């Protein structure tokens, strides 16, 4: 009689072992009806299996973060195009040497906005330092879109302090790789923007939005809308860079025209200093600063 089997053993591993052995023996996995359904990419990429792909993009990051104890995040949005000062100044020097007026103007903007990179990095350090003093279940983790610019800066700041840091990247026509400061075990790649934005909110305890473009605005207004409509619990929504945001968004017009309520303007805060941004979060939750 065979030895007793472990009741907790996972049987799905046998299927993977069978597939691997099949391949090792030199038998290609043909795209046909005989292939196991979950090992058939042609099948999984059909229009009719889109719902399954939604579920997979929902489950994979969620289960991984659960396993690593990532329950509370501070989400940092902002331009992927900003660079740290040294890199921005090098771009400007090259543009000036080439004498290209358009490139010079673009590089000057890079230099002008380089301080946002530094400030995002500094803010993330504050979050990571605070969390290092907390029990595991109370720790806050920096979460970004995983790309370059402000996202890289925030991941980098947490990485500076030895903290785990989350990146929710997106597959784009112009390939965007994860920045090197995202923890490898928490570096996720999405196909669907909707699922990615859902993951931003699932664990978010605060949102800090630095100046950015269409992507930043999309993510920002998604959060504001969810909180305004009470589809998500209230969280601190902090806009870093008063001069930028108040030139871009004249939201008082919405109040004047009756399309939002006056109290909706209280859903977010303007700040110009990393410490001030952190203090908004500290005050909201009554944390021990």
- One DSSP character per residue, 8-56 reads T--THHHHHHHHHHHHHTT----SSTTS-GGG-HHHHTSGGGHHHHHHH
What kind and span of H or E run contains 187? strand 187-190
Which uninterrupted H or E stretch holds 238?
Answer: strand 237-240
Is the separation of the CB atoms in 113 and 211 below 8 Å?
Answer: yes
Q: Tally the C-alpha atoms within 13 A of residue 96's C-alpha that lie toward its C-beta.
A: 8
Residue 8 domain-assigned (yes or no): no
Which pLDDT score is estimated for 39? 79
Whether 205 is covered by a domain: the verdict is yes
Residue 252, domain CATH? 3.40.50.450
For residues 14 and 87, give the distance between their C-alpha atoms in angstroms, rounded to a whole number: 50
- Residue 19: band (very low, low, confident or very high) from pLDDT cuts 50, 70, 90: low
pTM, two decimals, is: 0.88
Spatial neighbors of 165 by CB under 8 A, at least 6 apart, are 124, 141, 142, 143, 144, 154, 155, 158, 159, 181, 182, 183, 186
Q: What is the pLDDT of residue 181?
A: 98
Q: For CA atoms 212, 217, 218, 221, give the dihedral sign.
A: positive
Q: Which domain holds residue 242?
A: 60-83+115-285
**Does the residue 1 lie in any domain?**
no
Q: How many domains does the chain have?
A: 1
**pLDDT value of position 22:** 63
C-alpha closest to that of 267 among 235, 233, 242? 235
pLDDT at 13 over 70: no
User: Does some domain include residue 134?
Assistant: yes
The answer to the question of residue 189 being in a domain is yes
227 within a domain of the structure (yes/no): yes
Q: Is residue 5 part of a domain?
A: no
Rg (CA), the chain: 23
Is residue 43 scored above 70 in pLDDT?
Answer: yes
DSSP assignments along 148-179, one per residue: STHHHHHHHHHHHTT---EEEEE--SS--PPP
What pLDDT sits at residue 269? 97
Report if residue 177 sits inside a domain.
Answer: yes
Give the model confidence (pLDDT) of 217-244 as tens digits.
Answer: 999 999 999 999 999 999 999 999 999 9
In the predicted model, what is the mean pLDDT of residues 32-44?
A: 80
Q: Among candidates 69, 141, 112, 94, which has minimal Cα distance to 211?
A: 112
Residues 101-132 have pLDDT tens digits of: 999 999 999 999 999 999 999 999 999 999 99
């Amino acid at each position: 009689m065979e030895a007793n089997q472990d009741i907790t053993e996972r049987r799905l591993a046998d299927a993977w072992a069978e597939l691997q052995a099949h391949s090792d023996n030199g038998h290609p996995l043909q795209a046909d009806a005989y292939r196991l359904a979950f090992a058939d990419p042609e099948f999984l990429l059909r229009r009719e299996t889109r719902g399954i792909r939604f579920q997979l993009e929902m489950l994979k990051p969620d289960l991984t973060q659960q396993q690593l104890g990532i329950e509370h995040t501070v989400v940092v949005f902002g331009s992927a195009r900003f660079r740290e000062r040294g890199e921005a100044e090098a771009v400007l020097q090259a543009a000036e040497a080439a004498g290209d007026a358009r490139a010079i103007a673009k590089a000057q903007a890079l230099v002008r906005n380089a301080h946002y990179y530094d400030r995002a990095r500094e803010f993330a350090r504050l979050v990571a330092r605070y969390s290092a003093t907390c029990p595991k279940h109370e720790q806050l983790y920096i979460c970004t879109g995983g790309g370059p610019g402000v996202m890289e800066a925030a991941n980098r700041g947490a990485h500076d302090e030895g903290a785990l840091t989350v990146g929710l990247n997106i597959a784009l026509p112009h390939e965007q790789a994860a920045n090197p400061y995202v923890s490898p075990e928490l570096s996720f790649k999405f196909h669907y923007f909707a699922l990615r934005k859902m993951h931003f909110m699932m664990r978010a305890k605060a949102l800090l939005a630095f100046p950015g473009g269409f992507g930043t605005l999309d993510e920002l207004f998604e959060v504001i809308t969810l909180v305004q409509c009470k589809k998500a619990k209230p969280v601190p929504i902090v806009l870093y860079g008063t001069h930028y945001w108040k030139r871009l968004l004249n939201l008082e017009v919405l109040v004047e025209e009756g399309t939002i309520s006056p109290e909706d303007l209280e859903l977010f805060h303007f700040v110009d200093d990393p410490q001030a941004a952190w203090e908004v979060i500290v005050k909201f939750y009554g944390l021990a600063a």
